[in-house]
Amino acid sequence: MIAMTLSEIAEVVGGTLHAAPGDAARVVAGPAYLDSRTPVADGLFVAVVGERTDGHEHAAGAHAVLGSRPTAAPTVVVADPVVALGRLARHVVDRLTGAGLTVLALTGSQGKTGTKDYLAQVLASSRPTIATAGSYNNELGLPLTALQASAGTRDLVLEMGARGIGHISYLCGIAPPSIAAVLNVGTAHLGEFGSREAIAAAKGEIVEALPPEGTAVLNADDPLTAAMADRTRARVLTFGRTGDVSWRSLELDDLGRPSFELGHDGAWAPVRLTQTGAHQAANAAAAAAMALAAGLSLGEVAEALGRATAASRWRMELHERADGLLVVNDAYNANPASMAAALDALATIGGRRGRRTLAVLGEMRELGEHAHAEHQAVGRYAAQTGVGAVVAVGAAAAGIAEGARSTPGWSGTAVAVEARDEALSWVRQNAGAADVVLVKASRGAALEVVADGLLQPAATSAGQPDASGLEGGTSTP
């Protein structure tokens, strides 16, 4: 964060400073933060009243506080700390943009975090870059990220999420982008929005915020996204199989990692990614288009993509247990499209390595009235890809097992369990060292617990055998 005194912060956010005499000149130079357990030297603690805790009660020892009432530390008091945090971030972004900062923002129904991580690493290969950590993409996470930028930062990469119409517009008001991308319009959050058209209306707010001299990066392969070209005054640069930035000659290795040629404006450059899944090619192409719009060359982009590693947890993480069992931990989040992509990757790994495959799948949230049908469709897709066993975790995910069982010609095993420990026990008893297990669900299901448990040394007691084959061979209830 650029250095500011408490009196300056109070003026920017329209607050009142409650502090000891002389504290008005106290300088905040560290970033803003929310967790009082990890205070930041010279930072600004944002005291928020949550459902289970009140940040104001934990402000003692903070260098400075932004809150809705006075605390034991010097405090800028405002009506709404979240709104004030956004105002402060906008002030900092405006000052840094005037000094050469480029704001790049992206949204989409799936692939946001993976694409953001690619883009951040590509840009950071040539200039100082700050980017959203994980999926910190809402009205709190975005300004906290923006306030990490300093005078030396050249690129600010921001992931933007939406739970309704107007959310992305609000985020763009905090950090107006000059380069913005919409990756796709899927069915994630369908329960909140009601239709894909409503999702598109919300996602498209990001390109409406662009200035005429900006660049809108759009998915040419997604009709609802491509149509957003009519909603922006900015130049449009597309990505996809039919886009301005595209790929060809896609191949996957035995861990499902893609290699391909990345193309733009008649030139082609080889790329070999370190992350798993054919869908990574689209994520990389989207990141490449944004980096090209920011002034990097195709060669620079391709080389940096080849060095990029997974920067966010529980997204297609590959782990091998000591005995050889391969676990694909993709437990951070899930929607119908990302489930299909993960299942495709599982099938590729199993096929290339000659291994049996198992899928431990939990609930996909925020699908509304379509939830049961979408879970059944995922189960059918798992069976169609040849998964050897499907374990559906939780009552809301039971449709996955139903869908798998109903698939004509599938000879695999489908089980539905209520809890994570049951899923872990079943897989440990039925998966052998030569198998591959995918673990995936929406964040609330916390299936990373299952993935972590599977990586512990295989049990060999009579009560929990290290079996090399599945119990039975037919569907079970």
Look at residue 460 in the predicted model and tell me its pLDDT.
43
If one counts the domains in the chain, the total is 3
- Domain membership of residue 275 (yes or no) is yes
Domain, as residue range, for 101: 84-307
- Domain membership of residue 474 (yes or no) is no
> What φ, ψ does residue 44 adopt, rounded to 5°?
-120, 110
Residue 159 shares a structural domain with residue 299: yes
Q: Which of 254, 273, 307 is the last residue of a domain?
A: 307
The 8-class DSSP code of residue 227 comes to G
- Domain membership of residue 467 (yes or no) is no
Is 282 in a helix, a strand, or coil? helix
- Domain membership of residue 477 (yes or no) is no
Q: Is the pLDDT of residue 290 over 90?
A: yes
Residue 284 shares a structural domain with residue 365: no
Distances (CA, A) of 74 to 10, 20, 46, 60, 109: 11, 7, 12, 9, 41
- Domain membership of residue 283 (yes or no) is yes
Q: Which of 287, 307, 327 is the last residue of a domain?
A: 307
Is 432 in a helix, a strand, or coil? coil
Supply angle C-alpha 353, 454, 417, rounded to 5: 105
Higher-confidence residue: 7 or 38?
A: 7
- Domain membership of residue 410 (yes or no) is yes
- Quick one: how far is CA 280 from the chain centroid? 13
**C-alpha to C-alpha distance for 47 and 67, rounded to whole angstroms:** 5
Residue 325: give its domain's CATH number: 3.90.190.20
**Dihedral (CA of 118, 191, 199, 201) sign:** negative
> What φ, ψ does residue 7 adopt, rounded to 5°?
-65, -35
Q: Report DSSP letters for 332-386, one per residue.
A: S---HHHHHHHHHHHHHHHHHHT--EEEEEE---S-GGGHHHHHHHHHHHHHHTT
| Cβ atoms of 240 and 203 closer than 8 Å | no
**C-alpha to C-alpha distance for 245 and 43, rounded to whole angstroms:** 41
Q: Is the pLDDT of residue 468 over 70?
A: no
pLDDT tens string 39-57: 899 999 999 998 889 999 9
Residue 52: give its domain's CATH number: 3.40.1390.10
**C-alpha to C-alpha distance for 256 and 254, rounded to whole angstroms:** 5
**C-alpha to C-alpha distance for 160 and 331, rounded to whole angstroms:** 20
Q: Which of 60, 79, 98 is the last residue of a domain?
A: 79
Residue 159 shares a structural domain with residue 302: yes
Q: Is the pLDDT of residue 477 over 70?
A: no
Residue 367 shares a structural domain with residue 443: yes
Q: Report DSSP letters for 406-429, one per residue.
A: TSTT--SEEEEESSHHHHHHHHHH
| Cβ atoms of 126 and 155 closer than 8 Å | no
Residue 64 shares a structural domain with residue 201: no
Reference 76, options 29, 15, 28; nearest CA is: 15
Residue 291: give its domain's CATH number: 3.40.1190.10
Residue 73 shares a structural domain with residue 210: no
Long-range contacts of 141-145 (CB under 8 A, 24+ apart): 142/89, 142/171, 142/174, 142/175, 143/32, 143/85, 143/86, 143/88, 143/89, 143/174, 143/175, 144/31, 144/32, 144/33, 144/34, 144/46, 144/85, 144/89
Listed in sequence order, the residues at least 6 apart from 58 whose beta carbon sits closer than 8 Å to its beta carbon are 36, 37, 47
Residue 44 shares a structural domain with residue 116: no
Residue 186 shares a structural domain with residue 237: yes
Look at residue 163 in the predicted model and tell me its pLDDT.
86
- Quick one: how far is CA 405 from the chain centroid? 31
| Cβ atoms of 199 and 219 closer than 8 Å | no
**C-alpha to C-alpha distance for 44 and 89, rounded to whole angstroms:** 12
Look at residue 152 in the predicted model and tell me its pLDDT.
96
Residue 109 shares a structural domain with residue 246: yes
- Quick one: how far is CA 404 from the chain centroid? 28
Reference 272, options 262, 258, 284; nearest CA is: 258
- Domain membership of residue 244 (yes or no) is yes
- Domain membership of residue 48 (yes or no) is yes
**C-alpha to C-alpha distance for 66 and 43, rounded to whole angstroms:** 11
Residue 131 shares a structural domain with residue 34: no
- Mean local confidence (pLDDT), 129-139: 92
Look at residue 465 in the predicted model and tell me its pLDDT.
38
Look at residue 396 in the predicted model and tell me its pLDDT.
96
Residue 95 shares a structural domain with residue 54: no
| Cβ atoms of 352 and 344 closer than 8 Å | no
Look at residue 171 in the predicted model and tell me its pLDDT.
98
Residue 109 shares a structural domain with residue 171: yes
pLDDT tens string 336-375: 999 999 999 999 999 998 999 999 999 999 898 989 999 9
| CB neighbours of residue 312 within 10 Å | 16
